[in-house]
């Protein structure tokens, strides 16, 4: 551990920060404007309004889907279309997942679901409330069975959490397919 004569560390940190900024914009300026035209907030805006200022800690921002079917191998889906993490609401710790419609319609794929599973598991372990903010077109059908398994894992965790931790859910989309089974 000495000097960094070639500036590689600074370069890598710069690349990391640049990638983080790109991911935080989720679906990009055009999609955000479209969301606003529909009178809807983005997932990040909802999180910012819900949690005490500066308290939200995002979990797994850099997660990416791994599917290559039907052109997904070339498609970038920032944060895999879901913001997950924890923070404080009125000074109390709460865990949350917020699907972002600006990123591939907020569609639920394998890694998207696994991010939700992780924060649900964290909420269960900490015995703290979990909030689900759903703005999604449903399953990412290009991923096939793994996306459907994602719903199964969410439903399973909801049954485990029932009567154990408070769960709240708010949806901005019409119910269909995997959405027909109520989720808190």
pLDDT in tens, 97-138: 999 887 776 777 888 899 999 999 999 999 999 999 988 777
Residue 17: pLDDT band with limits 50, 70, 90: confident
What's the CA dihedral at 175, 176, 179, 184 to 10 degrees?
20
Q: Lowest-pLDDT range, 1-5, 46-50, 110-114?
A: 1-5
> For residue 180, what pLDDT is reported?
46
> For residue 47, what pLDDT is reported?
95
Q: Which of 103, 110, 100 is nearest to 67 (CA)?
A: 110
**Burial of 131 from C-beta contacts in 10 A (0-12 / 13-18 / 19+):** buried
- What are the beta bridge partners of residue 144? none
Q: Number of H helices and number of E strands within the chain?
A: 5, 5
């Amino acid at each position: 551990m000495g000097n960094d004569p070639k500036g590689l560390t600074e370069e890598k940190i710069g690349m990391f920060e640049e990638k983080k900024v790109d991911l935080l914009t989720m679906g990009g300026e055009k999609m955000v404007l479209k969301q606003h035209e529909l009178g809807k907030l983005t997932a990040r805006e909802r999180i910012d309004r819900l949690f005490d200022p500066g308290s939200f800690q995002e979990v797994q921002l850099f997660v990416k889907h791994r599917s290559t079917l039907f052109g997904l191998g070339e498609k970038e889906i920032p944060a895999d279309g879901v913001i997950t993490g924890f923070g404080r609401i009125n000074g109390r710790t709460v865990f949350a997942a917020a699907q972002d419609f600006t990123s591939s319609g907020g569609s639920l794929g394998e890694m998207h679901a696994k991010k939700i599973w992780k924060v649900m598991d964290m909420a269960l372990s900490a015995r703290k409330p979990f909030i689900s903010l759903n703005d999604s077109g449903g399953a990412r059908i290009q991923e096939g069975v793994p996306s459907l398994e994602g719903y199964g894992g969410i439903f399973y965790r909801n049954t485990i959490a029932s009567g154990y931790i408070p769960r709240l859910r708010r949806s901005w989309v019409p119910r269909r397919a995997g959405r027909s089974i109520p989720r808190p």
